[in-house]
Amino acid sequence: MGITKICCIGAGYVGGPTMAVIAQKCPQIQVTVVDLNEERIAAWNDEDVNKIPIYEPGLSDIVKEARGRNLFFSTDVEKAIDEAQMIFISVNTPTKTYGKGKGMAADLKFIELCARQIAKVAKENKIVVEKSTLPVRTAEAIKSILDNTGNGVKFQILSNPEFLAEGTAVQDLLNPDRILIGGDTTEEGQKAIQALVDVYANWVSEDKILTTNVWSSELSKLTANAFLAQRISSINAMSELCEKTGADVNEVARAIGMDSRIGPKFLKASVGFGGSCFQKDILNLVYIAKSYGLNEVADYWEQVIIMNDHQKRRFSNNIVKTLYNTVSDKKITFLGWAFKKDTNDTRESAAIYVADDLISENAKIAVYDPKVSRKKVLADLDYLESRAADENVNSVLSFENPYEACAGAHAIAVLTEWDEFVAYDWQKIYDSMQKPAFVFDGRNILNGSDLEKIGFVYQAIGS
Ligand code: NAD
Ligand code: UGA
């Protein structure tokens, strides 16, 4: 019998969009997304579909179509677990901030809570799907909790990591490069795998649905993120060498990307990668390698993070150096705060670290981002605990209008590659700024020679 009721624990950047697409593509399946965060669930249920908590192009239309039909958002976690045949766990797995593995290992407390709650509630056999990104062999721990604390019912654990990128989540979900499903090699395991394959087969062709053992699936997710991040750190390392040698990193990226063995994607030099996952997943990988005594493996991957931290710091140092070695009381405008375009997510955004460095030098930071509020900017800075919260309040100016944000500024730093920045009236911006007017393009999106013709001093990454 096919699956007719799915529950997803965690209504975040993964749970929300993923389940919305499953509900849209499988009208015969009832999908309930649950979360402990009442505010988040209320926002998912907001009558005005533009107020759902996550901004992703195309997402509000899908939610509008499926919500109330076969897509539901609720805080009643137990009821949804009880009713579902298949339960996705999509809760957050952040880097641990305490105890053993602090600053490196993944914090699995939310995962364990889910497993205990499923075990407590389940009165019938269920398939539990790891959708969150997890350290390899987590399924073993989940299984042990389920089997030892449950009501004697049988559980199958599948690993089904998510590969969507924010900003393109809907497209990635509708047309995935692949769907990865790991499960037990036993007969029951294979049946559980098939049940999940059948869900995806409603819109994904079967040749794109890959099945493996659980450990390969868990480790493939960490490996994919490590490889992607490694490409960015590799090109960013070259960007510094380009700046010293007269080479242009955009030209270098184009030249190497045309080699079909290398390929053109993920070679965009930048102020550094952000986002909730690359850093945490690589740190987790490093921790796992170290825990097996594989120190060379750990050091190899840790360098990706070291390079990324260096790139962010290099960007802020360069601003201070170029502005005559002092930014004290100077207004520096940040265009963009989100970690990439087309998302309202700011987790680990390079902008936070660059702002933190500049505020430590007494700069005033004026922020304009089309999707990020002042409240979020301040919360991000407060989280670093570099100074008292009121000092951040006094150091950050926020604007709803980019032209006002730039007026009177000594310099502009582009931190996010929002398309709208390219289309601005840059002459008007120049006229309103202090002179010389500097632009530090942390995303290499602006046309430097056009800006120089206007009179700007323009600096891009890696040229
Ligand atoms: P998120 O923080 O946006 O969402 C997680 C949600 O889970 C939160 O709303 C939280 O309140 C809820 N939650 C935590 N514990 C709970 C519990 N016991 N019961 C009910 N709800 C609970 O996180 P996210 O970005 O969606 O990431 C989730 C997982 O997916 C992570 O492991 C992440 O690594 C992985 N992932 C994320 C992305 C991405 O682009 N964000 C992509 C692929 C994989
Ligand atoms: C990334 C992966 O791309 C997804 O496949 C994965 O599912 C996800 O992590 C996850 O596990 O969370 P995401 O972080 O949402 O997705 O966004 P990316 O497009 O990968 O961008 C990450 C960061 O790298 C951004 O700050 C982006 O601006 C930066 N980046 C990306 C570059 O600096 N240069 C590039 O060439 C590409």
pLDDT in tens, 267-320: 999 999 999 999 999 999 999 999 999 999 999 999 999 999 999 999 999 999
In order along its 463 residues, the chain shows pLDDT tens digits of 699 999 999 999 999 999 999 999 999 999 999 999 999 999 999 999 999 999 999 999 999 999 999 999 999 999 999 999 999 999 999 999 999 999 999 999 999 999 999 999 999 999 999 999 999 999 999 999 999 998 999 999 999 999 999 999 999 999 999 999 999 999 999 999 999 999 999 999 999 999 999 999 999 999 999 999 999 999 999 999 999 999 999 999 999 999 999 999 999 999 999 999 999 999 999 999 999 999 999 999 999 999 999 999 999 999 999 999 999 999 999 999 999 999 999 999 999 999 999 999 999 999 999 999 999 999 999 999 999 999 999 999 989 999 999 999 999 999 999 999 999 999 999 999 999 999 999 999 999 999 999 999 999 999 9
Q: Is 67 helix (H, G, I), strand (E, B) or coil?
A: strand
278 CA: nearest ligand 2 atom: 9
Which residues' Cβ are closer than 6 Å to ligand 1?
9-15, 34-37, 40, 77, 90-93, 110, 113-114, 132-133, 162, 164, 166, 276-277
What are the backbone dihedrals phi and psi of residue 158, each rounded to the nearest 5 degrees, phi first? -115, 150
Q: Which residues contact 290 (CB under 8 A, 6 or more apart)?
A: 298
pLDDT per position as a tens digit, 97-117:
999 999 999 999 999 999 999
Mutate to test the pocket of ligand 1, among 91, 130, 180 (most ligand atoms within 8 A of CB): 91
The CA distance from 385 to 394, in Å, is: 15
Residue 207 corresponds to which amino acid? D
- Regarding pTM above 0.95, the answer is yes
Please indicate whether residue 162 is annotated as part of the active site.
yes
Pocket test for ligand 2, best of 95, 339, 352 (most atoms within 8 A of CB): 339
Q: How many A from CA of 283 to the centre of ligand 1?
A: 18
CA 184 to chain centre: 29
From residue 406, give the alpha-carbon distance in Å to each of 422, 427, 438.
Answer: 14, 12, 11
Give the active site residue among 162, 166, 218, 417: 162
Pick the residue whose CA is nearest to atom 2 on ligand 1. 92
Q: What CA–CA distance (Å, rounded) separates 62 from 80?
A: 21
